Chains A and B, each alone.
Chain A
């Protein structure tokens, strides 16, 4: 147990230089984009005087050389001050934290749905290899993997919102109702159904195929033959031995994809008007709102590091031979 705690502590220490490097690289990359926040703000305003533009740039600190801007930014982040979004007239930390909740709701639901059903379907397909069950699952997985997300989302809206009227088209809550307590939870769940299905369909297909392949690979291993030779039932072989080993690649993949889910959900957030981080990042990029964008990148980086740590710990639970060192 103490080995595990030491491991976690060491990982946290390692995270600091990684985060610092991420901040610096992101900052420099973003600076390569032509145009700045003052251009965009004035562009949206439709007109501006030169004095106004100069004042904006001075206020945003854009009139200083890039190395000075970088040093000041890193200095602030070390004090856990993520700066101010002049575009939103709000501290970055507050903006990002407001969006974190909806992002996590969508992300966690999607991952649970995708991994859960992906494993189940992959298992069903692998155990019924080359039967109708396997064929149907494989074809469905292929179709949903190949269909663009935005199209799936819009079709679900057309069918279930406009034609059947079962679910709302967009948003996270019924606006005019202002529910509280359990009514609010149910309301959010009601709004969550379509976006979560849309987003998880894509990943579901991925996990199904991965699980199926992984199961088939494990089924050919020597230890399975040994197990069969010592007279274990097929059921026990599948669930006790093959499944546990086959899960490892799926868990690895899920860990990697949690990070891409934050960025990958831009499309789903846009189509369903879900107030998540992806959309905020997308808007801030086009608005050149660098403080906000850097704040979001930082948070994503932290989330990725945490998820990777959790995945490493999960490995040891699935396969006791793996040790945390």
Chain B
């Protein structure tokens, strides 16, 4: 990929030289990004919270970078080799990289950052990095990871958003949870942290000593926080803001803004998070302990209707627990996976409910239920209203319940006090990170959020996941996941609605703003304003 883009850039450059005086990249300018909500801190080593990543990814870097198609690209590590048995990974680190405070970056930082910070305090680090038994540092620019077992998912999670490398000299001897860099990060990235006026903005200035020659092109990045959606739209329309991602500009305004010549819209840059919108059941509660009932509801819902009418056309029908972004790696399949896309939805679903032994009473009602709505915005409310109408056609009387985030999380992931809830989870760049947590029986962990909230437990799918997490042969691994997709959809503890598409809205003269699957979780090293 890297070579391709270089060739393309070369072609572009020569075309530019032939056709006009415009140069490919122009230096200078201040980019104003709007992020919502304001992050509580900038400690991306402590939290994977989206707003934190949107800002911190400009300052921190990882050992690797993620390229198109979820491929690995060098970053702080120039190159790496994986041993035959998959249990030793040797990284050759880049020389001449300095921290923003001027100290040199060495293998000691990698060792300390991985073993003492990320493995200890990162919310996913305990799970993802636990296979790393030791990081050896034979010299300043070599880091050797010793793993307890092969971990095919490990490499991609070493990117700057997921596993930012922090400076040993600033963390050594302190509690990483109370490190002052939480509000004033010091990294190796293209932009240096300057100041944070809480409630207003974060200012990041160009790192003059950045290791990528000539980059970044921008002089400054300012991240603003505007709580009101309509005001954010007004600010980008007015040119006060140049860039907003992850629904910062509400979908309802996006088509209109997209038609303006000075504004561009893209749905690229979300392949890394690969979110799927779902309806999940508490599979221990009757009648939802019966797969036939769950599948009847899955059959009745019209996914394309939901995308077109509630999500303003942004989305793609989902077919199973694994996002179609995994198609290039061969993990994703629809082959042999049951499809709920049928013509006479309501009739089929009613027949299934009859078969399940749930007759209608005198009022035409089979049973009553409560549908909990995930509290992440207006669309989910409207989706709940749609589901309620469809369920009524099936003879199911549903009541909608909408609570705030903390209450809802506790209900679903601590008390399991629900029957059916809408929800959406990131697929993340490997199923071990993003998918297993929802289905493995060892992920039924009261009090821990976004894990197995359905209480689904099956020795067969557990075995498939266990095997896939240590299988280093990509082909065999893909087959394990194909089986997994068939079994999960056949049981449908979760109804897969659609793959959410987020939009990034930016000024048309801002180029290279979205680079690769990390999108806004990437630095603006390549971004520039075309004058």
- The chain A residues found within 8 Å of chain B, CB to CB, are 33-36, 39-54, 59, 85, 87-90, 95, 98-99, 102, 150, 154, 157-158, 161-162, 165, 168-173, 175-176, 269-273, 275-276, 279-280, 283, 286-288
Q: Which of B239-287 contact A (CB under 8 A)?
A: 240
Among candidates A42, A90, A99, residue contacting B123 with C-beta atoms closer than 8 Å = A42
* B418 on interface, CB distance cutoff 8 Å: no
Among candidates A34, A50, A59, A168, residue contacting B177 with C-beta atoms closer than 8 Å = A59
- Report the interface size for chain B: residues with CB under 8 A from the other chain: 59
Are the C-beta atoms of A273 and B198 separated by less than 8 Å? no
Instruction: Give Cα A165 to B413, complex, Å.
Output: 48
Are the C-beta atoms of A51 and B126 separated by less than 8 Å? yes
Among candidates B182, B220, B228, B451, residue contacting A176 with C-beta atoms closer than 8 Å = B220
Extra inter-chain contacts (10) besides given A39-B449, A40-B406, A98-B197, CB under 8 Å: A35-B408, A40-B405, A41-B40, A49-B126, A53-B447, A88-B40, A88-B198, A89-B183, A165-B238, A275-B198
Instruction: Give Cα A287 to B41, complex, Å.
Output: 13
Instruction: Give Cα A136 to B50, complex, Å.
Output: 51
Are the C-beta atoms of B224 and A286 separated by less than 8 Å? no
Instruction: Say whether, besides A49-B126, A162-B237, A169-B240, A90 and B183 are in contact (CB < 8 Å).
Output: yes
- The chain B residues found within 8 Å of chain A, CB to CB, are 30, 32, 37-38, 40-41, 43, 47-50, 121, 123-124, 126-127, 177-178, 182-183, 197-201, 203, 220, 222, 224-228, 230-231, 234-235, 237-238, 240, 404-411, 413-414, 425-426, 437, 445, 447-451
CB distance from A115 to the nearest CB of B (A): 27
CB distance from B381 to the nearest CB of A (A): 17
Instruction: Say whether, besides A42-B449, A273-B225, A280 and B199 are in contact (CB < 8 Å).
Output: yes
Instruction: Give Cα A271 to B226, complex, Å.
Output: 8
Are the C-beta atoms of B43 and A89 separated by less than 8 Å? yes
The total number of A-B Cβ pairs within 8 Å is 178
Show 10 residue pairs from A and B whose CB-CB distance is below 8 angstroms, ordered by the A residue: A34-B410, A39-B414, A45-B47, A45-B124, A154-B234, A157-B231, A168-B238, A273-B224, A273-B228, A276-B199
Who on chain B is nearest to A267 by CB?
B228
Who on chain B is nearest to A86 by CB?
B177
Cβ of A88: which chain B residues have Cβ within 8 Å of it? Answer: 40-41, 183, 198
Are the C-beta atoms of A50 and B447 separated by less than 8 Å? yes
Instruction: Give Cα A176 to B221, complex, Å.
Output: 9
Cβ of B200: which chain A residues have Cβ within 8 Å of it? Answer: 171-173, 175, 273, 275
Instruction: Give Cα A39 to B375, complex, Å.
Output: 14
Q: Is the interface of A mostly helix, strand, loop or mixed?
A: helix
Instruction: Give Cα A87 to B182, complex, Å.
Output: 10
Cβ of A45: which chain B residues have Cβ within 8 Å of it? Answer: 47-49, 123-124
Cβ of A33: which chain B residues have Cβ within 8 Å of it? Answer: 406-407
Who on chain B is nearest to A274 by CB?
B199
Cβ of A273: which chain B residues have Cβ within 8 Å of it? Answer: 200, 224-228, 231
Cβ of B127: which chain A residues have Cβ within 8 Å of it? Answer: 47, 49
Who on chain B is nearest to A269 by CB?
B227
CB distance from A216 to the nearest CB of B (A): 40
Are the C-beta atoms of B222 and A175 separated by less than 8 Å? yes
Cβ of B413: which chain A residues have Cβ within 8 Å of it? Answer: 39
Are the C-beta atoms of A87 and B228 separated by less than 8 Å? no
Instruction: Give Cα A35 to B449, complex, Å.
Output: 11
Cβ of B47: which chain A residues have Cβ within 8 Å of it? Answer: 41, 44-45
CB distance from B353 to the nearest CB of A (A): 33
Cβ of A161: which chain B residues have Cβ within 8 Å of it? Answer: 234, 238
Are the C-beta atoms of A36 and B406 separated by less than 8 Å? yes
Among candidates A47, A51, A154, residue contacting B48 with C-beta atoms closer than 8 Å = A47
